[in-house]
Structure 1
Amino acid sequence: MTSELNIGNLKTGLGLDIDLKHFRYAHAEADVLQDIKLNISPGTVTVINGGSGSGKSTLGAILAGILPRTGLDQFEGAITVGGRRIEFSEDKRPRIDPSGWAQHISFLPQDVNDYLSGIRATVAEEMAFALENRGAPREDMLTRILAVVDMLDIKHLLTHDAGTLSGGQARIVALGALMVDNPQVLVLDEPFSGLDKNARKVVLSAIQQLKLLGKAIVVLTRNHVHGADHADKVLRLENHESLFFERNSLPPNQEPNLDKNSLQPAGRDRSRVLLEFAGTNLGYGSSTPPTISGFNLKLHAGECLGLLGPNGVGKTTILKAAVGLLKPTAGTVRTSAKPGLLLQNPNDQLFERTVFKEVGYGLRPGAKSQQQVAAVLDRLDLRDKAETHPYELSMSERKLVALASVLVHEPEILLLDEPTEGLDDNGIKVLREILEVCTSKGHGILFTSHDDSFVAHAATRTVQLNASENAR
C-alpha cells in the first residue's frame, strides 16, 4: 500500500532514528544493508565508515528520504524523524515528499554536481537557490548566506561562476548551500574528499560549530576516518553488518612527512623529457587574469611527479594543458609522447552502457582490441564487471573503469587528477601497482593529490604551487 507522506509539520530538535531490517535495490540479488539500528541525536556527530560498496551512501540516501524508490526497492524497517515513526514493509510503502523531508534532513552526495543546480550564474546565487524556491525574504537569505560564508571562509568565491570552481571548492560551496537551508540533520557523504589540508580544517570547524548549534551531523567516509576524533559515535559497515566503536578506540590519523627532498627517485635513466612547461601562462579567457603564470616544469621518463597545492590554485588547469585541452596564453607546453588524462570525477568520463564498451571506446574494432580491453580489465581487477553498466558500480570501481579507459590507449604520459579520490583500500592498492609498472617502463606520471599518504608512497618528486602566485 502506497500513501503520500507530508512531514512539513514535524517537530524540530528531535533528531533521527533508524531501525533497518534489510534494504535491497530493485532487481538486485542480495541485500545491500541488514540489521542496522542507529540513533542520531541533536548536537552530535556520527561517523559512518566503510569501504566502497559497503552501503554507506545507500544508508545516507535512506536517512535523507531519497531511498527507497516507491515500487522498486525493497525496504523493511522504520525511520523516526521529528518525533514521527514511519514504517516500511512489503505492505507499507509510504511515498516521501523529498522537498519537505529536506527541510529537516539534508543530504550532500559524494558527487556534489548532483547537488548544485548548475544553472545559477554565481556562487552567491547557487547558495540562495533553495531559499528562493521557498520564497524566503531577501534579508533572511542574505543573513544566512553571509553567516555560512564566514564559517566556511569562502567570501572570495561569491562572485565566481560555480562551474569554474575546482573540485574541492565546489564541494565546500555545495556544503555551504546545504547549510544555508538550515536543516536539523546534515548527512554528508565524503565531505573531505578532494580538500586540501586547510580546507579540511575549515570543514571540521564548521561541523563542530553546527554541533554546538544543536544540529545532528552524519559523516559518511571511507578508509581514512577524517574527523573521527571529533565524533560522538562511529559506525563501521562491513560485510553487510554494522559495528560500533568508541571514538578513542580508533587509531589517530597520521600526517606523513612530505619533505620533497626526502622522496628519492628510483634508479632509472631520466634524461628524456616527456613533458615540459616553459614560462607558461594558462587561463580561461582574455577577460580574466591567468590562473597559472610563468610556470616551469619538466617531467622525465620513469618519473612520478606529485603536483601539490591548495584547492583552486590551478593544478587541474595544468593537467588540461598537458593533454592539449587548454592552450597557453604565453610560454609553451611541449610533449614528446602520447598523454592520457584521468579526470577527478569519473562520472565526467563514463558514458557507455557496459564496462567493456567503455574501456574499448576509441579502439579499432577487432580481436586485437578486445584482447587489449580484456588485459586492462584483468590488471585493474575488473574482469567480472565487463558487462555491467558503469553507473551500477561503486564509486571506487567507476574510478578504476575510467582509469582503464585511459590505460588501454597506452599513454606514455599519465596525467591523474586526484587519483585516490573515491577509491577504497583495494582500489588504492591496484592504483599503486599500475603506477609502479608504468614508471618501470619509462613512462612519466604527473598527478595532483591532497592525499598525503598516497603522495608519500607514490611520488618520486613533488612540486608545490602557491596560491599567492597562481590563483586567480
Structure 2
Amino acid sequence: MIEFSRVSITYAEATTPVLSEVDLLVEEGELCLVAGRTGSGKSTFLGAINGLVPHFTGGHLRGSVRVAGKDTSQHPPREFAELVGVVGQDPLAGFVTDTVEEELAYGMEQLAVPPEVMRKRVEETLDLLGVADLRHRPLRTLSGGQQQRVAIGSVLTAHPKVLVLDEPTSALDPTAAEEVLAAITRLVHDLGTTVVVAEHRMERVAQYADRLLYLPGDGSIRSGTPAEILADADVAPPLVELGRLAGWSPLPLSVRDARRRAGPLRDRLTGRTPVLPERVAAPVKLAASKIVVRYGELVAVREVSLDLRGGQIVALMGRNGSGKSSLLWALQGSGPRHGGKVDVGGQDPKSLKPHRARKLVGLVPQTPGDLLYLDSVDAECTQADLESEAGAGSCRAMLDRLTPGIDGGKHPRDLSEGQRLALVLAIQLTARPEVMLLDEPTRGLDYHAKRHFGAVLAELAAEGAAIVLATHDVEFVATAADRVVVMAEGDVVADGPTAEVVVASPAFAPQVAKVLAPAEWLTVDQVAKALA
C-alpha cells in the first residue's frame, strides 16, 4: 500500500538529509507505529506519505514514494485527499469550520459525497469516537483532547484507505486514548485501512501495532515487529524496560503478557519498598480559595480550593473537559475567573501587569507556539534572558538540557511540535517563577527528553518552587510527581500522594503498577534500585 524506494529528503541549507536511502513497504491493513527521538524525522516521514513533503514544506526528495501505486512526485497532495487522511499534531490548526458537526462534514463536502451518505457517516463517526454530545459545540470551546478526537473524526468520515496520525493520543486521557485506539484498530481489522501512527507514548500503541518503524536519528528507518525492534531501541515503553530488567524473552508488549510472567519478580520484591525522592515541602506558595470559572452556562471549575507548597510537584489529572486547563489559567491570572481568590506572596496575579505576574506564576499552555513571536530560536532565547534578567545563554542552556542540538537559526514555526514545546518550556523556566503551571508539558517529548525535563523540575522543586502539571501522561506522573489531584466536572475528587492515588485507579495507574499490583511500585527505576 505504501512503498518507499531509496528515498532521501534534504531540507534547504541542511548539511545532512533527514531521511537517507530509505526502502520499506507497508502492506494493506497494517497498523504501523513510527517511533524515534524528538527531531529524528518522524513528521517528515509522515508528510512524505501524501506528498506534503516536499510539495508544501520545501526541500528535495530523491527516490520515489508510492501510495496504492500513485507516485507523490507526479501528483500534488490534493489528489491524495481521498486516498490518504492526515491528522497533524495541532488539531486546532487544521480546523476550517466553527462547530463539531460542520467539521466532520467539511471533508466530505469537498469530495462531493452525497448528502444522505454524509449524514450517515457523521452519525457513525460521532458514535465511534464518543463525541455525539459535542456535535453543536464551537470547536474553540473544546478541550485539547476533545479537539483531537474531532480532528481524527473529520478525516475518518472520508473513509480513506490510508490514515496518517501524528501524536493522536497525546492530548487524550487514558480512557479516551483507549477508545480512539479501539476505533483505529476496528478500521484496520474490519475495513482493511492502513494506519501509520507516530506516537511518543509508545506504551499506549505498541501492543496494537503490526509493525514498528524506528528512526534512530541517522536518516535510516528500521522496520520489523515491535518485539524485535524494541529489543535494543533506545526509546522503549516502561513495560519493555521492565522486561529487559527482568530478562524476559520475548519482551511483553501488553500488561496482560507481563503479569503472566511477573510472579517470580513479585516474589523477589516481597518485603522491599520503593525508594521515594526526599523533598521537604516548604510553606504555601499559592493559596487558591473557591475558584469558579464559567463559559456561558457551563461551569468549568466549581469552587475549587487548592494550596500549592514550595518544593512540591503536583500532577493535575482527570478526563478531557474536567476543568484542568481552566483552573490553571484562573490561577495564573490571564484566564477568566468568576469567583474565588488567588494569593501568591500576598498578591493576586490577576491584578498585576503581565511581566510582573510572570515572575510570580509562569504558565506553559497546551499550544505553546502561541508564546513564540520572534523569527529564530536564538532570538527567542536571547529575549527570554533579557526579560527574565538571567545571565546570557541561560535559556539556551536550558533548551539543550531538554532537547539538545536544535539549530539556533531555525524559525520556531519550522520546529517539530516537541522541539517547539521544549523551547517554550526553556523560556518559561528561565524566569524561575515562584509557581510554575504546565499544561500537557510532555506532548511531543520522547522518553529521554521527559527524563531530562523531570530532572529540571526536580531541581526547581529543590530550590523551593511550587510546580503543577496538568497532564494525561501517567508514566511521567509516576516518575516526577509527589502529589496527584484528580478533577471531574470542575470538582476535585481525589487529592493525595502519587502512589496512593494512582495505584488505586485503573485509568491513571502506570504500567509498572499494573504489572506489580497490589504493591505500590510505580517506575522501572524504583524496581531496579530495589533489586540492586
TM-score, normalising length: structure 2:
0.77
Kindly provide the CA deviation profile for residues 371-420 of structure 1, in whole angstroms up to 9, marking residues without a partner as x: 55455456546586444322333333221210121122221100011111
The answer to whether residue 451 in structure 2 is matched with residue 429 in structure 1 is: yes
Instruction: Report the CA distance shift for 1:301/1:254 in structure 2 as closer, same or farther (over 3 A).
Output: farther
- Give runs of aligned pairs for residues 451-470 of structure 1, distance below 5 A: 451-467=473-489, 469=491
What is the correspondence of 1:155-234 to structure 2 with a 5 Å cutoff? 155-211=132-188, 212-222=190-200, 224-234=202-212
Change (3 A) 1:72 1:395: closer
> How far is the alpha carbon of 1:225 from its aligned partner?
4.8
Question: Displacement, 1:220?
Answer: 1.4
> Which residue pairs with 1:91 in the alignment?
none
Q: Alpha carbons of 1:318 and 1:360: their partners in 2 closer, same or farther (altered >3 Å)?
A: farther
Please identify, of 352-361 and 454-463, the stretch whose mean Cα deviation from structure 2 is larger: 352-361
Asked whether 1:354 is paired with 2:376, we answer: yes
Q: What is residue 242 of structure 1 aligned with on the other side? A: 221
Counterparts of 1:458 and 1:277, CA distance in 2: 23
398, 403, 410: which one aligns with 2:425: 403
Relative to structure 1, the CA distance from residue 362 to residue 75 in structure 2 (aligned partners, 3 Å threshold; closer, same or farther) is: closer
- For 1:161 and 1:78, locate their aligned partners in 2 and report how far apart those are by CA, in whole Å: 41
How big is the shift at 1:429?
Answer: 2.2
The secondary structure found in structure 1 opposite 2:298 is coil
Matching residue's letter, 1:282: V
Q: CA RMSD in A?
A: 2.8
Report the alpha carbon displacement of residue 334 of structure 1 after superposing the two structures with TM: 2.4
CA contact (8 A) 1:313 1:470 kept: no
Moved more, 184-193 or 370-379: 370-379
| Structure 1 position 369, deviation (Å) | 5.6
**CA pair 70-289 structure 1, distance change in 2 beyond 3 A:** closer
What corresponds to 1:322 in structure 2?
Answer: 331
Native 8 Å contact 1:46 1:219 kept in 2: yes
Return the match for 2:80 from 101, 117, 122.
101
- Distance, in Å, in 1 between the alignment partners of 2:19 and 2:390 is 41
Aligned-residue offset at 1:45: 1.1
Higher mean C-alpha deviation, range 194-203 or range 382-391? 382-391
Cα pair distance change 1:124/1:451, threshold 3 Å: same
User: What is the alpha-carbon distance in structure 2 between the residues aligned to residue 364 and residue 57 of structure 1?
Assistant: 33
Rounded to whole Å, the distance in 2 between the matches of 1:364 and 1:185 is 47
How far residue 269 of structure 1 moved from its aligned partner, in angstroms, is 4.2
Q: Which amino acid aligns with 1:405?
A: I
Shift of 1:247: 3.4
Shift of 1:240: 1.6
Work out the CA distance in 1 between the residues paired with 2:385 and 2:68: 55
How far apart, CA to CA, are the structure 2 residues paired with 1:366 and 1:423?
25
| Cα pair 1:186 1:215 within 8 Å, conserved | yes
CA distance 1:376–1:362, change in 2 (3 Å): closer
1:436-455 equivalences under 5 Å are: 436-455=458-477
Q: For residues 235 and 466 of structure 1, what CA distance do their matches in structure 2 show?
A: 37
* Unpaired stretches in structure 2, ≥5 consecutive residues: 231-239, 241-252, 259-273, 348-359, 494-532
1:278 to 289, 292, 295: 289
Alpha carbons 1:273, 1:300 under 8 Å: kept: yes
**Count of residues paired in the alignment:** 440
Task: Please give the TM-score of this superposition, normalised by the length of structure 1.
Answer: 0.86
Cα distance between partner residues in 1 of 2:334 and 2:57: 44
1: distance between equivalents of 2:341 and 2:275? 28
2:364 is the alignment partner of 1:342: yes
Between Structure 1 and Structure 2, the one with more helix by share is: 2
1:46 aligns with one of 13, 17, 32:
32
Change (3 A) 1:327 1:468: closer
**What letter corresponds to residue 292 of structure 2 in structure 1?**
N
Which of 95, 98, 102 is the equivalent residue of 1:116?
Answer: 95
Give the 5 Å matches for 1:356-435: 356-361=378-383, 364=386, 370=392, 372-373=394-395, 376-377=398-399, 380=402, 385-435=407-457
Structure 2 CA distance for aligned equivalents of residues 304 and 18 of structure 1: 45
Once the two structures are TM-superposed, the CA of residue 104 in structure 1 deviates from its matched residue by 0.4
* Pair 1:27–1:253, CA change in 2 (3 A): farther
Deviations 1:323-357 (A, max 9, x none): 10124212222222700001122222212112232
On the 8 A contact 1:396/1:427 being kept in 2, the answer is: no
Pair 456,173 (structure 1): closer, same or farther in 2 beyond 3 Å: same
CA drift at 1:125: 0.7
Which residue pairs with 1:65 in the alignment?
51
Q: Hey, what does 1:151 align to over in structure 2?
A: 128
